[in-house]
Structure 1
Amino acid sequence: MRRVRDVFYINANFNEKYFIYYGMEFKEFIKHNPIKIENILVTEGNYIANNFNRSWFLETANGKNDILELSKEDIYGLGNFHWLDYNNEVDLNSCTPEEKAEVLYLSHFGKPLNSPFFSGINNDFVYLSHDDGWFCKLYCKDMCVFKDIIANKIIESFSTNKRRKIYPMPEDIKEEILELTKKGLLIDFSNIYRDNKCISLNYYTIGHYEDMDEMYNNLERNKYRADVKGIIEHKNKSWKIQSRNN
């Protein structure tokens, strides 16, 4: 049964250039991503697309409209949903059998034989999700892209009142939040505090989890035992992070 995504957990591995996260669905990833993805090769997931690539025997989504329509589908119902982006059809069809084998190995086993990034297709991401919003392993060529994704998700959660303007998050705050993902960052959207001047939510660093059942089923204990607890706050047109060690 689909559960409400009331927290956003991000476990970063900067050495191997990936994030493991819970609490963000595919449609949010597309919406909040500062890199506009034009082409997707679906390597796992029973997605029925208008485009079938006969060189790969896989479905593709091409152009902003295709990807927007895909984001409206029941991705959760697909179970596994794996894809990587690519430049264009010519480059995709020019991949060698060895490159195709590496892509499919990465999709199946969740780790690369060599690199998750392929010069022939110039991909920025490899997206390996299970039960949309429950588990995703995202290889990310530029890890700093994720600081904007996190910031945009927080800003959207704060922007429920049209009469209240939420100002852009400055780079130093984004950097500080991204740094916290190295310790396993949990952002709690379940209890956002609001008054006339301030909006805030709590965050915790709870360590490194790859099993989202273990992370989520022990959520209260994990928050209680967090190494660092703090608040992300928007007040008087500015952003602030307050933290304290346990």
Structure 2
Amino acid sequence: MRRLRDVFYINANLEEQYFIYYGMEFHEFIQYCPVNLENLLITDGQYIANGFNDHWFFETAVGKEGILELAREDIYGLGNFHWIDYNNEEDLNQCTPEEKAEVLYLSHFGKPLNSPFFDRIKNQFVYLAHDDGWYCKLYCRDILVFKEILANKIIGTVSTNKRRKIYPMAEEIKNQLFELTKEGLLIDFSNIYRDSRSIGLRFYVIGHYEDMDEMYNNLERNKRKAKFSRFLEHKNKQWKICNG
């Protein structure tokens, strides 16, 4: 049964350029990602796509409209949902058997034989998800892209009132939060504080988890045992981190 994504947990491995996370669905990733994706090659997960590549025998989401169309699908119902982005069909079709083998190995085993990034197709990401919003392993060519995704996700989640403007985060705040992903950052959306002047939520550093069942099913215990906890507040048109 699908569960409410009431927290956002990120376990980062910056040396290997990936993030394992819980709590962000595919449509949110597309919404919050600052990178314009050209096309997606779906390496695991069957759905009726707007494209099919005869060289790879995989479905594709072609162009911005194709990707947005895919984001409206029931991704959760696919189970596994793996994709790699590519710049154009011509370069994708020119991939060697060795390059194809590397992409397939990466999709199947969740780790690269060499690198998760392929110069020929100029991919920015490798997206390896299971049960949309429950588990995702995301390889990022530019790891700082995830810093923007994290900030955008927080702002997007607390922005429920269109008449109340939420301002962007200062780089200092984004950097502090991003740094904590290396230690296992949990953003708690289950109890957002709101009054006429401020919005706030709590975050925790709970350590490294790759098993999201273990992380989520013991959530309250993990919060109690957290390395530390802080309060993230939006007030007077700016964000700040408080000790309260």
Looking at structure 2, the residues matched to 4 and 74 of structure 1 have their Cα atoms a distance apart, in angstroms, of 15
What corresponds to 2:96 in structure 1? 96
Looking at structure 2, the residues matched to 2 and 110 of structure 1 have their Cα atoms a distance apart, in angstroms, of 23
Q: Which amino acid aligns with 1:124?
A: Q
Number of residue pairs matched by the alignment: 244
Looking at structure 2, the residues matched to 172 and 141 of structure 1 have their Cα atoms a distance apart, in angstroms, of 22
Mapping of residues 19-30 of structure 1, within 5 Å: 19-30=19-30
Determine if the alignment matches structure 1 residue 35 to structure 2 residue 31. Answer: no
Deviates more, 1:36-45 or 1:156-165: 156-165
What corresponds to 2:212 in structure 1? 212
Determine if the alignment matches structure 1 residue 142 to structure 2 residue 142. Answer: yes
TM-score (norm 2): 0.98
Of all paired residues, the percent bearing the same amino acid is: 73
How much does 1:161 deviate?
1.7
Q: Which amino acid aligns with 1:205?
A: V
SS of structure 2 residue aligned to 1:192: strand
Structure 1: gaps spanning 5 or more residues: none
What corresponds to 2:188 in structure 1? 188
8 Å CA contact retained: 1:51, 1:59: yes
Deviation string, structure 1 residues 142-183 (Cα, Å, up to 9, x no partner)? 111011111111111221122221111111111111001001
Looking at structure 1, the residues matched to 85 and 22 of structure 2 have their Cα atoms a distance apart, in angstroms, of 21
Structure 2: gaps spanning 5 or more residues: none
Determine if the alignment matches structure 1 residue 105 to structure 2 residue 105. Answer: yes
Q: Which amino acid aligns with 1:82?
A: H
Deviation string, structure 1 residues 100-150 (Cα, Å, up to 9, x no partner)? 000000000000000000011010000000000000000011111011111
Looking at structure 1, the residues matched to 129 and 162 of structure 2 have their Cα atoms a distance apart, in angstroms, of 33
8 Å CA contact retained: 1:228, 1:243: no
TM-score (norm 1): 0.98
Determine if the alignment matches structure 1 residue 129 to structure 2 residue 129. Answer: yes
Deviation string, structure 1 residues 30-72 (Cα, Å, up to 9, x no partner)? 0000001120000000122131101111111111111001000
What corresponds to 1:48 in structure 2? 48
How much does 1:243 deviate?
4.2
Looking at structure 2, the residues matched to 96 and 219 of structure 1 have their Cα atoms a distance apart, in angstroms, of 45
SS of structure 2 residue aligned to 1:193: strand
8 Å CA contact retained: 2:50, 2:62: no
Q: Which amino acid aligns with 1:108?
A: H
SS of structure 2 residue aligned to 1:70: helix
